[in-house]
Amino acid sequence: MNRTVLIAGASRGLGLELAVQYAAEGWEVLAACRDPEEAHKWLPPSVKVLKLDLTSATSIGALAWELDEAPLDLLICCGGVYGAETDSFLAPGDDEFDRVMHTNVLGHARVIQAFAPCVVAARGMIVTLTSKMGSISETTGSGALAYRASKAALNIIAKAASNEFGPQGATVVTMHPGWVRTDMGGTEAPLTVIDAVEQIRGTLAGLGHSDNGRFIDFSGRSIDW
């Protein structure tokens, strides 16, 4: 029986490559993104591309209605925006803060709420791709406050989700994918998208229910909250 993965945020970067690699492995892939027509250009025909705007509760609800409670073996939440690139402590403006928090935090919370029952039904896994920049104990810099705040908030949402849905049979993990050569990561990043996704997939394949609630990196190393 084919395994099914829903990738929320599959228009580019890690989300797009996750869709490509899971499809190549024989999974039924549901690639949800803001611009399905653009994503179709890069994804294999076997991938079902779906409309999803993480900033819209209506869009998330419409996708949940379309999938009609079908069981999901894997839900990956990976859409996100960075906000202003600052090297020093600088409070973000209202519009920037709202955009980053709505996309990186509220959107992911709504997706988890909408599709967690589908994952529970399959005794599957929910993965939030976050960043160690959201780790309070491992923070060494002072810039990119909106992004750091959003990832710290996303981390607590994922941890709360593990407390809610773990006892119901799902496994919820929070993963830092590494510094990856994407539009967000930049050209200096040491990991290519292909290599990062291969490592992410390998690590996820080795996890079990005992890993519920963990914050890890792409290699499986635990990260302090």
Catalytic residue set? 147, 151
**Residues counted in the chain:** 225
Given its phi and psi angles, is residue 147 left (phi above 0), alpha (psi -120 to 50 degrees) or beta? alpha
Amino acid at 104: N
Q: What is the DSSP string of 156-195?
A: HHHHHHHHHHTTTT-EEEEEE--SBSSTTT-TT-SB-HHH
Count of C-beta atoms within a 10 Å radius of residue 139: 12
How deeply is 10 buried, as exposed, middle or buried, from its count of CB atoms within 10 A (0-12, 13-18, 19+)? buried
Alpha-carbon span 72 to 79, nearest angstrom: 18
Alpha-carbon span 11 to 168, nearest angstrom: 31
State both tokens at 195: 């290599």
Q: How far apart are the first and last CA of the chain?
A: 37
